[in-house]
């Protein structure tokens, strides 16, 4: 687990970084794509494209894919963690989250498409305003914004 400068990160179960690997049986690169192969093996390690943490016991927990992480205000927010939170809302059976470009923050306001559980009826108490803990609903869309 390393940061963007390939420095090893603490095995504390909290600090996230990119998962890299090096072994003789790993691919040497992409066929007929030298540039992509050089990016894949930057710094002498195979870059998996996965973000994870190493637990104190040495176990690796994958958090998300680098291309799916929402980069907002210098922080990386896992789309998978937001999807997990939304799917815990009563009546939601599926959720998908993407980042939306923002001039100030880079990306912000994750848009989520959800599928309500069969037979679910929304009540009047479920308003349209919310925060990241209680997303705003509009039809089948959620909108999560930084407070």
Q: DSSP for the chain, please give it.
A: -B-TT-PBPP-SSS--EEEEE--TTS---BTTBHHHHHHHTGGGSEEEEEEEEE-TTS-EEEEEEGGGSEEETTEEE-HHHHHHHHHTSTTEEEEEEEEEEETTTEEEEEEEEEEEPTT----TTS-S---SSS-EEETTEEEE---
Task: Express each pLDDT in 56-84 by its tens digit.
Answer: 999 999 999 998 888 888 788 888 888 88
Place of tokens 């309500």: 116
Domain match, 129 and 62 both = no
| Residue 146 confidence (pLDDT) | 45
Q: pTM (2 decimals)?
A: 0.65
Percent of the chain with pLDDT over 70: 73
Q: pLDDT for 118-142, tens place per residue? A: 665 544 334 344 444 444 544 445 5
Q: What are phi and psi of 83, to 5 degrees?
A: -60, -40
How far, in Å, CA of 64 to CA of 78, rounded?
6
- Provide the domain limits for residue 43: 17-66
| Other residues' Cβ atoms within 10 Å of the Cβ of residue 109 | 16
Whether 91 and 106 map to the same domain: the answer is: yes
CA 39, CA 91: separation in Å to the nearest integer?
43
Our CA dihedral for 144, 4, 55, 15, rounded to 10 degrees, sits at -50
2 in any annotated domain: no
Residue whose token pair is 């789309």: 79
Domain count, the chain: 2
Do the domain assignments include residue 1? Answer: no
Residue 115 pLDDT: 65
Identify the domain boundary among 66, 93, 127. 66
In a domain? residue 61 = yes
């Amino acid at each position: 687990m390393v940061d963007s400068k390939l420095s090893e990160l603490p095995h504390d179960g909290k600090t996230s970084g990119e998962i890299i690997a090096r072994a003789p049986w790993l691919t040497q690169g992409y066929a007929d794509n030298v540039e992509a192969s050089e990016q894949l093996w930057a710094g002498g390690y195979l870059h998996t494209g996965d973000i994870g943490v190493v637990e104190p016991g040495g176990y690796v927990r994958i958090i998300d894919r680098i291309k799916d992480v929402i980069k907002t205000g210098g922080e990386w927010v896992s789309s998978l963690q937001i999807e997990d939170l939304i799917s815990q809302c009563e009546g939601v059976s599926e959720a998908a989250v993407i980042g939306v470009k923002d001039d100030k923050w880079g990306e912000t306001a994750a848009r989520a498409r959800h599928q309500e559980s069969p037979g679910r009826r929304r009540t009047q108490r479920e308003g349209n305003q919310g925060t990241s803990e209680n997303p705003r609903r509009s039809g089948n869309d959620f909108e999560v914004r930084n407070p």
